[in-house]
Amino acid sequence: MKLKALATAAVGAVAFVFGATPQGDFGFAQVHAQAEGVRPDVGKHLKDAAALIKSGKYKEALAAVKDAEGVPGRNATENYSIEAMRLAAASGASDADTMAHSFDALKATGKLGSADQLRDIESIAGTYLRNKEYAKALTWSQRYFKEGGTSATMKEVQSQAQFYSGDMTAIIKDTSEEINADEKAGRTPPQAKLNLLLNAAIRAKDGAAEGQALDKLLSYYPSKDLWASVLGRVQQKQSFSDRFALDIYRLRLATGNLKDANDYMEMAQLSVQAGFPDEGKKILDKGFAAGVLGQGAEGARHKRLQDLIVKKVAEAKAAAATAEQDAHNAKDGNALVTLGLAYAFRGDAAKGVKLVQEGNEKGGLKHPEDGKLYLGLAQFLAGDTAKAQATWRGVKGTDGVTDIARLLGIYSRSNKQF
């Protein structure tokens, strides 16, 4: 935010009175000896004030304005000139209350143009924010937009003022609307705006808004650390079922968040136990290729597990026809779903999708929503991301299945494969 620029913007009213040209923050290239309608006794002090402003001596400039105010019998033009100069000096001195008082006095004359009014309100709001007077900064930023202002910088001022004033509800509402407007217009929402929504949601304990912010951050600004944070949050939910531990590992592996050899070993074993030896082999292969496995005192153990899984892969292939027949003969579709996903990990994803679909249609699944989840996963492994995303959007549940489906959908938007 350009808060300093807001707080020290040249005040047009001074130029109006003295014919001055803004130079830098508050310097003036020239100040006429006397503005029309301003007597020499008043003009002298105002010239002094303008010179002090130009030199950056704002408090001294305010004192000079006070001297001008002390001249008796002032006329309307002199009063206007005094308030205009005071506003300029007060802005340089970061005296927001004095700025606000002078602005209201100037506006009451009817001589301050609308553009100058907006600029001055912007400066006042920015100064209050810089001074950490958040309630007043919020009041003046709201006044700015009520007066027709459209500055994007002022939107940031307003959001910051809302945040530090504790008005989380307003931030969530306003920021969500801005994000939706960006997306509707085909623009990528700024990361700062999404972070603001996230922080406000956390402070307000608004789980829905927090989830929305995290999902959009993952969609537009994915990173290894953000994925780690989101996956950790999901696992910490009291309602999250342990049966999705392997799915969490899948996303951790895909986003570069497996930490060490134990993670690779644990994930591979879970995969084999779930009926996916080919996936288990790929996991270990990646661990060995990365130099995480096969090293140190545990290297031999890693190799033994790899050999065991290679054997499991061969056994699964040899028994494939029997396993498929048994799955079709089963009274429910559970085995078909598992076998179909196993085919997808083996590299025959088209057949895998067909078998998972048959399992869902056959019914009797222990966890029907899991069947949809893994149909989407098989479709994704088959390269049909659009169908996978549509399938995942239809997954419902409160035990973690919806979270996994949503995160897989987000991952698939920017990645073609695991």
Burial of residue 90, with CB atoms counted within 10 A of its CB: 0-12 exposed, 13-18 middle, 19 or more buried: buried
CATH assignment of 3-163?
1.25.40
Nearest residue to 87 via CA among 152, 16, 138: 16
The per-residue pLDDT of the chain, averaged, comes to 90
Backbone φ and ψ for 30, nearest 5 degrees, come out as: -160, 155
pLDDT of residue 274: 97
pLDDT greater than 80 at residue 72 = yes
What is the average per-residue pLDDT within 163-180?
91
What's the pLDDT score for residue 29? 27
* Mean per-residue pLDDT, 346-356: 97
Q: Give 372's contacts (C-beta < 8 A, 6+ positions apart).
A: 360, 391, 392, 394, 395, 405
Mean pLDDT value across residues 33-58:
87
Closest CA to 123 of 152, 148, 147, 99: 99
Q: Which residue has the higher pLDDT, 396 or 27?
A: 396
Q: What is the pLDDT of residue 83?
A: 95
- pLDDT for residue 28 is more than 60: no
Contacts of 203 (CB under 8 A, 6+ apart): 168
Q: How far is residue 359's CA from residue 338's CA, in Å, rounded to a whole number?
A: 9
- Residues 6 or more apart from 54 whose CB is under 8 A from it? 23, 26, 27, 28
Average pLDDT over residues 225-247: 95
**Minimum mean pLDDT range among 50-54, 134-138, 165-169, 405-409:** 165-169
Tens of pLDDT, residue by residue over 85-98, are: 999 999 999 999 99
pTM: 0.72
Query: What is the domain partition of the chain in residue ranges?
Result: 3-163, 172-220, 263-318
pLDDT of residue 253: 97
Q: Mean per-residue pLDDT for 368-382?
A: 98
Structure tokens at 45: 């002090």
Please tell me whether residue 278 adopts helix, strand or coil conformation. helix
The tokens for 308 are 């065991």
The total of other beta-carbon atoms located within 10 Å of residue 156's CB is 20
**Please, are residues 261 and 417 in contact by the beta-carbon 8 Å criterion?**
no
pLDDT at residue 26 in the model = 33
**Per-residue pLDDT tens over the stretch 263-278:** 999 999 999 999 999 9
- Confidence band, pLDDT 50/70/90 cuts, at residue 351: very high
Contacts of 53 (CB under 8 A, 6+ apart): 26, 27, 28, 61, 85, 88, 89, 92
Whether 69 and 80 have beta carbons less than 8 Å apart is answered as no
- Count other C-beta atoms under 10 Å from residue 59's C-beta: 12
What pLDDT, on the 0 to 100 scale, is given for residue 22?
36
Q: Percentage of the chain surpassing pLDDT 70?
A: 91
Say whether pLDDT at 158 is over 80. yes
273-312: pLDDT as tens digits: 999 999 999 999 999 999 999 999 999 999 999 999 999 9
CA distance 357 to 333: 9
CA quadruple 162, 166, 167, 168: dihedral sign: positive
Which range has the worst mean pLDDT, 8-22, 244-258, 330-344? 8-22
Report d(CA 345, CA 267) in Å as an integer. 14
pLDDT tens for each residue of 202-229: 999 998 899 899 999 999 999 999 999 9
- In this predicted structure, the answer to whether residue 418 has a pLDDT above a threshold of 50 is yes
Alpha helices (H) in 55-113, listed in sequence order: 58-69, 76-92, 96-108
pLDDT at position 11 over 60: no
Residue 124 identity: I
Question: So what's the pLDDT on residue 35?
Answer: 56
pLDDT mean over 139-155:
93
Q: What was the pLDDT predicted at 45?
A: 95
The rounded distance, in Å, linking the Cα atoms of 411 and 418 is 9
